Amino acid sequence: MFAKNGRFKDDQSRTLNVAFAMLIWTSLCGGPLVAAEPALKAPAGFNVTLFADDDLAHDVHCMTIDSRGRITVAGNGFIKRLIDSDSDGVADKAELFAEGPAIGVQGMYWHGSDLLAVGGEGLLRFRDRDGDDKADGPPDVLLKVKCGGEHHAHSIQRGPDGWWYLIAGNDTGIDAKYITLPTAPIKQPVAGVLYRLKPDLSGGEVVAHGLRNSYDFAFNRTADAFTFDSDDERDVSLPWYRPTRVFQLLPGSHAGWVTRSWKRPDESLDMPPVVASAGRGSPTGVVCYQHRQFPEKYRESLFVLDWTFGRVLALPLVRNGSAWKADPEPFLSSAGDHGFAPTDVEVGPDGSLFVSVGGRGTRGGVWRVSYPAGRKDKLTADSVTEDSSAIDKLRACLTAPQPLSSWSRARWQPLARQLGREPFLETANNDALLPAVRLRAIDVLTESFGGISETEAAELSQATPAEVRAKAIWSLGRTRVKPLDANVTKSFLLDRDPLVNRAALEAIVSAENVSDWSLLVDGIVKQLSGDDRFNRLTASRLIVRLDQDSFQSLSQAVVKTGWQGTLAYAVGYLPRSTAATKYGIQLAVRVLEGVHPVGLKLQAARLLQLALGDMVPPAGTAPAFEAYSTRVDLSAFERDLDPLRVRLTETFPTGDADVDRELSRALTMLSLANTKLLDKVLAKITDETDPVEDIHYLLVAARIPTPRNRAQAEAIARGLVRLEPKIVARKMHQDLHWDDRVGELYRELVKLDNELADQLVAQPEFGRPGHVLFLSELPQDLLPKVIDRYVQAISDDADYPWNNDVVFLIGESKQPEHRELLRRQLDQFKIRGAVLVILSQQPEERDRDRFVEGMEESQAEVLTACLDALTQLKPSQTADEQLALLKALRRLGTDEKEFLIREKVAKLLTRNFERDFGFVFGPPGYRPQNEAIQRWTEFLTKTFPAESARALGGDAETLTWLTEQLARVDWSGGNVERGRQLFEKRSCAQCHGGRRGLGPDLAGVTSRFSRNDLFVAIVLPNRDVSTRYQTTLFETKQGKVHTGLIVYESAEGFLLRNSTNQTIRIETTDIETRRTLPQSLMPGGLLKEFRSTDFADLLAYLKSLGGSSTPPSTTAR
């Protein structure tokens, strides 16, 4: 009935009652948006201005810039351009390009006048053949793929090679069926992927996989792809939690997401480059800044967006061997409490950075970041004319800013076609020119002229600097792969620079075949034994493709290079032959036992895991143990494994934290029933160790199936009990999955020691809220002792951190003093509902007023408990109680669960007044019953006139005014178009615009509710507040008070949307109090300025919206 984190589970209804069918509509219908622009912080010298507000760009999901440099935004049901007619840096209007898809699109790219978008049924193409800036009709579906979900397909872009690239989240389902090209670096993709399509979209392949949920990506000048991947925020403070990370996506790479509870660590030998980590967050947009307006430090930098914490980070890329690294710098963030929820980012023709905001119904818009002191280029592709010289055309083409954007391609591509191939080849070969210009020349050759020939690549293999050589073999690999010329590739593979080596390796990985593998053996051996870990990884992936003779030559040569080369070779040998398993295990153990560098031992630990089958859990594995299981049944190899178990037990621990962590993980795959090993594992847990590391070693201990002695049992119990105080002391966050995963750990430990519960209770620090989860396996006879321990802990701590779990635990007691202890906590708002539930089990008359107050609770469980308590008490006719019942009667009725609760209310009223006003009980009454509820309303408002005016959120004067107004309206004269204009002009559509709006769909509202009920709900917004749409009040430690609807919640904080359409971000650490209010967002009396014709027009428009798509059984009253 109650969530384990101490909060009641949400009782979410799918539809609303009459008042909340109009709630958000009226919250904004008083006029245009009045929210002040939230200030954003940027580095000195930058200007941040609002290019378009929510009225033009509501709840923007994604953004792009068209071929003419116009901002294009998309949200639920719309794709439109934002037009700055007077070039003052602010959009004047929005022009609709296309309606739909209803749930929006999550990626767009303009290809001339055609728009490619990701949404609806998949990858879509909207055409505009007549050039009227509107889609000609419904889009073509180019590729069917899952879209619309937060973990489905996202961004679409055109790469530097002219191919199309699509990034998709882990629920998209892109698998082997989507791979139609023989050049695919990955044959069996898993989780999120970077997918590549031919320029004519005739075939596709997966470039990289193993992502969780990346929304966007970007290419830098060396044609490397970068993405910003999400964390799994619900796993924070658990051993497998990984923060948000910017990855460099190597062809063939796996980014480490295996299952929800197993993500490989950054240092794992089979991970791609982690450019930077950015902690908690929700990654959205990514762009590489390739313009010249911003200062030098930002050029070729990545800008990445975090929706959760409202920030834009700048990542100046620095080469690190074959890969790239960066130290994230804050670039843009909210200056105050106002929310900033960035969703996408683009660079405009003038070099400004445009950032869209929105998502989950939050305030939309587009911000513009400019650098007024920045460089202004005199010669651009725009300024070049037919009469310009060839050298000017070439220069403009090669220095075109943001060359992969639609608007830039529209400018430089025509120039390139005019000039032809030869000037670009001459530029690429000219060592006197700037490297950036030569790199662009090779890009143009690759995209527009079919790439470079083998002869031309051979000439460029001697070019300087290294980036030019790397780009040359990249071009060859993207265009000449049937087969790839081994003689040319060899020189790049043997190059002295690791960047060039990586480009050569990737060309081979992406080639359908190689002309002569034997020519590449020396180069592959060099990379396997080299210092660059990412080149070792890519080289190891080639081993499975070698012909047998080349494989034999490589095997003989690599073992002569030393331990590093041999270990990398073993990683690549594993998928080639089953014989490699024993070889890999033996090699890994030898390295772990020997005197070797820590880095090599860490690789050996990973090799051991791979050789044992890797951590891919079999079906039925508890999520907590997904990183401590193997997919391979090793029982048939018991005799062979026994000597291995002995040797590894002696090897552990090695003295290095990273090596020990991964070695111990490998040990769990071997089912080591060794008490000596258990002692060593438990010795890793002390009072000073990190609690996340403690959980890891407790999980390892749970995989050691040996009887526990008393010292081991006490060590395990102390390790468990100390988790909470350690987490509190370090101010670490815990989220939704923490209790579930630690609970799974505890249950497994209990299976190995049935006296563990006794040891837990005996620990001096036992009795904290987080220890309740350990009571799931508690023997019943220990319960009184446990409750006494908790009561003592509460007595000893004046600031004891009560939660619902503790309330329900003490509620199991039969002792009167314990019940009284709970009663004294009724003024603690966060646990009041739980206390009322306990008190309702044996209700007393002295708690009656508390039960009446409890009927305002938004949680169905609390409301039900209070009604049950009042049912057991004697009847009453007090005004407060009857009006509280009336309010509950009016607001309930959106689904069968609420119908059952409403029936309890009606029975109480019937008992109290001995009448029912025709209310129908039982299943036949599971419907709105408007007439009976209206009769109860009239009866009770007449019986308690003054009290009802206060309780129902209005007064007799207001209702009289409305009745008189409605009586004067000529309803037959209502005009749908005028009503629509009124609806849109007052921003009502902002919250009734789709599945992400805060308000409900109003389709069919006039058929469900009477005309009078609709307008009463607008005038008296607080009369009947659905539990789903009750507002939440936050008071911060700084004394600020914020009220609104929660649109996003995490362990770190909340996004709140208030009545003025502002999005407010509140950090958890800043919250003093939080409570739910039985109030709506909208102010009262919003229709007082309405003329008679306005009433009729609005009703006519609402009638035009048609029937609801919601089934009748779940429709609101």
- Where residue 229 sits, what CATH number does that domain have? 2.120.10.30
Inter-residue contact 706 to 760 (CB < 8 Å): no
Q: How far apart, in whole angstroms, are the C-alpha atoms of residue 1025 and residue 1116?
A: 12
For residue 433 the two structure tokens come to 């020119």
540 within domain boundaries: no
Q: Which of 370, 398, 420 is the last residue of a domain?
A: 370
DSSP string, 295-311: -GGGTT-EEEEETTTTE
Q: Which of 309, 344, 370 is the last residue of a domain?
A: 370
| 512 DSSP assignment | S
Query: Are 488 and 349 within one domain?
Result: no
858 within domain boundaries: no
3-state secondary structure of 1049: strand
Dihedral, CA atoms, 981, 986, 989, 992, nearest 10 degrees?
Answer: -130
Token pair 């719309």 in the structure block, residue: 78
Query: Are 200 and 325 within one domain?
Result: yes
3-state secondary structure of 268: coil
Inter-residue contact 898 to 868 (CB < 8 Å): no
**Can you name the residues that pair with 1065 across neighbouring β-strands?**
1055
Strand ordering across the sheet containing 225-229: 217-219, 225-229, 245-248, 274-277
Q: How far apart, in whole angstroms, are the C-alpha atoms of residue 266 and residue 255?
A: 9
Q: How far apart, in whole angstroms, are the C-alpha atoms of residue 522 and residue 631?
A: 35
856 within domain boundaries: no
Rounded to 5 degrees, φ, ψ at 1072 are -90, -50
pLDDT of residue 59: 92
Q: How far apart, in whole angstroms, are the C-alpha atoms of residue 163 and residue 414?
A: 18
| 1001 DSSP assignment | P
375 within domain boundaries: no
pLDDT of residue 480: 82
Residue by residue, what is the 3-state secondary structure of 600-631?
HHHHHHHHHHHHCCCCCCCCCCCHHHHHHCCC
The residue among 614, 772, 625 whose CA lies nearest residue 696 is: 625
Query: Are 109 and 173 within one domain?
Result: yes
Q: How far apart, in whole angstroms, are the C-alpha atoms of residue 433 and residue 535?
A: 29
Q: How far apart, in whole angstroms, are the C-alpha atoms of residue 223 and residue 226?
A: 10
Q: What is the pTM of this model?
A: 0.85
447 within domain boundaries: yes
Q: Which of 340, 370, 400 is the last residue of a domain?
A: 370
Token pair 């070439």 in the structure block, residue: 394
Inter-residue contact 839 to 823 (CB < 8 Å): yes
Contacts of 395 (CB under 8 A, 6+ apart): 379
Dihedral, CA atoms, 490, 491, 492, 495, nearest 10 degrees?
Answer: 130
The Cα angle at residue 396 between residues 390 and 402, in degrees rounded to 5: 155
Q: How far apart, in whole angstroms, are the C-alpha atoms of residue 1082 and residue 828?
A: 28
Query: Are 365 and 476 within one domain?
Result: no
Query: Are 473 and 340 within one domain?
Result: no
**What are the C-alpha distances in Å from 451 to residues 422, 476, 481?**
12, 7, 11
pLDDT of residue 363: 86
Query: Are 477 and 454 within one domain?
Result: yes
Inter-residue contact 28 to 990 (CB < 8 Å): yes
Query: Are 351 and 406 within one domain?
Result: no
Token pair 């400019």 in the structure block, residue: 370
Inter-residue contact 140 to 134 (CB < 8 Å): no
The residue among 858, 723, 725, 742 whose CA lies nearest residue 5 is: 742
Query: Are 352 and 474 within one domain?
Result: no
Query: Are 355 and 414 within one domain?
Result: no
- The backbone region for 182, taken as left when phi is positive above 0, alpha when psi lies in -120 to 50, beta otherwise, is alpha
225 within domain boundaries: yes
**What are the C-alpha distances in Å from 649 to residues 589, 592, 664, 680, 681?**
11, 11, 10, 9, 10
997 within domain boundaries: no
Q: How far apart, in whole angstroms, are the C-alpha atoms of residue 559 and residue 587?
A: 11
Q: Is the peptide bond before 101 cis (omega within 30 degrees of 0)?
A: yes
The enclosing H or E element of 347 equals strand 342-347
Query: Are 166 and 278 within one domain?
Result: yes
Mean pLDDT in consecutive groups of 10 residues from the start of the chain, 1117 residues: 33 36 39 50 96 93 97 96 95 95 95 97 97 96 95 97 97 97 96 97 97 98 98 92 98 95 96 96 97 96 95 98 98 82 97 94 91 78 82 96 98 97 98 97 98 97 97 95 92 98 97 96 98 98 97 97 98 93 95 97 98 88 93 78 92 97 95 94 97 98 96 97 96 90 96 93 95 90 94 95 95 95 93 95 96 87 94 96 94 85 96 95 92 94 88 69 82 86 62 49 58 71 62 77 73 67 74 71 61 84 62 30
pLDDT of residue 351: 96
**Domain limits at 388?**
383-509
pLDDT of residue 381: 67
Inter-residue contact 69 to 349 (CB < 8 Å): yes
Q: How far apart, in whole angstroms, are the C-alpha atoms of residue 689 and residue 660?
A: 14
Q: How far apart, in whole angstroms, are the C-alpha atoms of residue 968 and residue 958?
A: 16
607 within domain boundaries: no
The total domain count for the chain is 2
Query: Are 179 and 288 within one domain?
Result: yes
3-state secondary structure of 1047: strand
Inter-residue contact 45 to 337 (CB < 8 Å): no
Query: Are 366 and 334 within one domain?
Result: yes
pLDDT of residue 1031: 75
Instruction: Give the strand pairing for 153-158 and 140-144.
Output: unpaired
The per-type count for the chain, helices as H runs and strands as E runs, is 39, 34
**What are the C-alpha distances in Å from 900 to residues 17, 187, 863?**
16, 53, 12
Q: How far apart, in whole angstroms, are the C-alpha atoms of residue 671 and residue 663?
A: 13
Rounded to 5 degrees, φ, ψ at 523 are -65, -40
Q: How far apart, in whole angstroms, are the C-alpha atoms of residue 209 and residue 206?
A: 7
Q: How many residues does the chain have?
A: 1117
| Alpha carbons within 13 A on the beta-carbon side of 387 | 0
Strand ordering across the sheet containing 1041-1049: 1063-1067, 1053-1057, 1041-1049, 1031-1036, 1071-1077
Range list of H helices, 380-421:
390-398, 406-419
Q: How far apart, in whole angstroms, are the C-alpha atoms of residue 372 and residue 369?
A: 10
